[in-house]
Amino acid sequence: MPQEKTEAVILKSFNWSESSRTVVFFSNDRGKLALIDKGGRRLQTKRGRLLSFARLEVSYYDSNKESRGYIREVELLRHFSLEGDGALGRLAFASAACELLYDLLPEEQPQSALYQYFVKYLSLIESADKANLSGVFLAFFLRLLSQLGYNPSLAWCAGCRKEIAANDNSTAPLEFSPERGGVVCASCAKAGDYYIPLSPASHRLLQTLQVASLTEAASLPIGYQETLSLTEALTKFVNFQTGTSSGLKSLEFLEKLKNSELLK
């Protein structure tokens, strides 16, 4: 059984047997990679600790007979602490990114550039001002969609491909169609179809975030309610485009705490 080594971040883990579990990683050179952690449910184990929100060097046996290999050793390269000011938000946005990657990444297809982007994302979720975490998350969400071929059409009508020019004087909402793949113009909008209304300001913000770097996004404070609205729109877009039906469970508890001093 050949031994391999890769840098990776944990996306999810779940029980496999009474003593073992399956750990799903986003790895630098193998993409989404599921490995069996034999004996990992015990309190004591011979290999290093598997920490969430950390860059790990994972040595593993690549099984040719089974669909999953086995973890041999783990070395911690860097742990992203999410315990600073605004810890609940940092944990939620880091977890939401892991959810998205787990749901959308194909199995064992290298995504090295996206992996490095994800590591940069975790670094900013650790260090950015808590008021700007929303912008970092939304920029990551949009870039992930683009990298995986699900880029929502925001600058052109998803129907006729006519450019949708920003109108700073308009207050009329634009129609965002998750099913058709983006914003549609008034001529292409059909009565009875499902649309999510986007204010001109929200539309401009999405356009800005779609091309912004993570560092640029980290300088954009976005209101809590707008963050929820835009996240919901993008999540429904993902559901229609990929056939999935799940939401982002990591962000659900923020809705319950939106008026809490913990988030201010």
CATH class of domain segment(s) 93-152+179-263: mainly alpha
Q: What is the pLDDT, as a whole number, of residue 49?
A: 82
Confidence of residue 45 (pLDDT cuts 50, 70, 90): low
Q: Is 14 helix (H, G, I), strand (E, B) or coil?
A: strand
What are the structural domain ranges in the chain?
A: 3-79, 93-152+179-263
CATH class of domain segment(s) 3-79: mainly beta
Single-letter residue type at 81? S
Q: What is the pLDDT, as a whole number, of residue 233?
A: 93
Q: How far apart are CA 50 and CA 45, in angstroms?
A: 10
Question: Could you count the other beta carbons within 10 Å of the beta carbon of residue 250?
Answer: 17
Q: What is the pLDDT, as a whole number, of residue 212?
A: 96
The string of pLDDT tens digits covering residues 96-150 is 999 999 999 998 899 999 999 999 999 999 999 998 999 999 999 999 999 999 9
Q: How far apart are CA 237 and CA 37, in angstroms?
A: 34
Burial zone of 185 (CB within 10 Å; 0-12 exposed, 13-18 middle, 19+ buried): middle
Q: Which two tokens stand for residue 41?
A: 């449910």
The string of pLDDT tens digits covering residues 143-200 is 999 999 999 999 999 999 999 876 655 678 899 999 999 999 989 999 999 999 999 9
Q: What is the pTM of this model?
A: 0.89
> What ranges in the chain are assigned the alpha helix state H?
87-104, 112-127, 133-147, 200-211, 214-217, 224-242, 249-256
Q: How far apart are CA 228 and CA 60, in angstroms?
A: 39
Confidence of residue 47 (pLDDT cuts 50, 70, 90): low
